[in-house]
Structure 1
Amino acid sequence: MIPSRRLATAAGVCYLVTHVASIGGLALYGPVLGNPDFVVGPGPDGRVLLGALFEVVLALAVVGTAIALFPVVRRYGEGAAFGYLGLRTLEAAVIAVGIVSLLAMVTLRQNQGAGTDPAAARTVGRALLAVHDWTFLLGPNFVLGANTVLVAHLLYRSGLVPRFIAVLGLVGGPLIFASAIAVLLGLYGQLSAWGKLAAVPVFAWELALAFRLIFRGFRTPAAAGPLPVGGDPVPVPVGLPQV
Structure 2
Amino acid sequence: MAANTHITPPIKAPIPRRRMHPTRRISLAAGILYVLTFVSIPTLALYKAVKDDAGAFVLGAGSTAGVQWGALSEVIVGLAGIGTAVVLYPVAKRVSQTAALGFVAARLVETCLIFVSVVSLLTILTLRNDVAGTAGTDSASLVTVSHSLMATYNWTFLLSQSLMPVACDLLLGYVLYRSALVPRILPIIAFIGAPLLLASDIAIYFDAYGAVSPIAVLAALPVAVFELSLGIWLIVKGFKPTPLTTDHADTSQSTAT
When the two structures are superposed, what TM-score results if normalisation uses the length of structure 2?
Answer: 0.84
* Cα deviation, residue 42, structure 1: 4.5
Asked if 1:133 is matched to 2:154, the reply is yes
Number of equivalent positions = 228
Task: Tell me what 1:79 maps to.
Answer: 98
Task: Tell me what 2:145 maps to.
Answer: 124
Asked if 1:170 is matched to 2:191, the reply is yes
Higher mean alpha-carbon deviation, 112-121 vs 69-78, is at 112-121
> Separation in 2 of the partners of 1:150 and 1:201?
16
1:49-198 equivalent positions in 2, closer than 5 A? 49-110=68-129, 111-112=131-132, 113-198=134-219
Residue by residue, what CA displacement relative to the aligned partner does 1:174-229 show, whole Å, maximum 9, x if unpaired? 211121111001111111111001011001101110111001100123x5x7xxxx
Task: Tell me what 1:27 maps to.
Answer: 45
Gaps of 5+ in 1: 226-233
- The answer (yes or no) to whether the contact 2:40–2:70 under 8 Å persists in 1 is no
Q: Secondary structure at the match of 2:140?
A: helix
* Cα deviation, residue 34, structure 1: 3.2
> Separation in 1 of the partners of 2:135 and 2:239?
61
Identity of aligned residues (%): 42
- Which structure is larger by alpha-carbon Rg, 1 or 2? 2
* Cα deviation, residue 103, structure 1: 0.2
- The answer (yes or no) to whether the contact 2:121–2:149 under 8 Å persists in 1 is yes
Residue by residue, what CA displacement relative to the aligned partner does 1:35-85 show, whole Å, maximum 9, x if unpaired? 121111254222211221111111111111111111111100001100000
Q: Runs ≥4 in structure 1, deviation > 4 angstroms?
A: none
Amino acid corresponding to residue 236 of structure 2 in structure 1: F
Amino acid corresponding to residue 206 of structure 1 in structure 2: E
1:195-214 equivalent positions in 2, closer than 5 A? 195-214=216-235
Gaps of 5+ in 2: 1-19, 251-257
- The answer (yes or no) to whether the contact 1:97–1:135 under 8 Å persists in 2 is yes
- The answer (yes or no) to whether the contact 1:220–1:237 under 8 Å persists in 2 is no
When the two structures are superposed, what TM-score results if normalisation uses the length of structure 1?
Answer: 0.89
> Separation in 1 of the partners of 2:182 and 2:113?
29
> Separation in 2 of the partners of 1:60 and 1:24?
18
Higher mean alpha-carbon deviation, 25-34 vs 6-15, is at 25-34
* Cα deviation, residue 87, structure 1: 0.2
* Cα deviation, residue 235, structure 1: 8.0
> Separation in 1 of the partners of 2:173 and 2:223?
11
- The answer (yes or no) to whether the contact 1:220–1:236 under 8 Å persists in 2 is no
* Cα 1:187–1:42 shift into 2, 3 Å: closer
- The answer (yes or no) to whether the contact 1:34–1:129 under 8 Å persists in 2 is no
> Separation in 1 of the partners of 2:246 and 2:178?
14
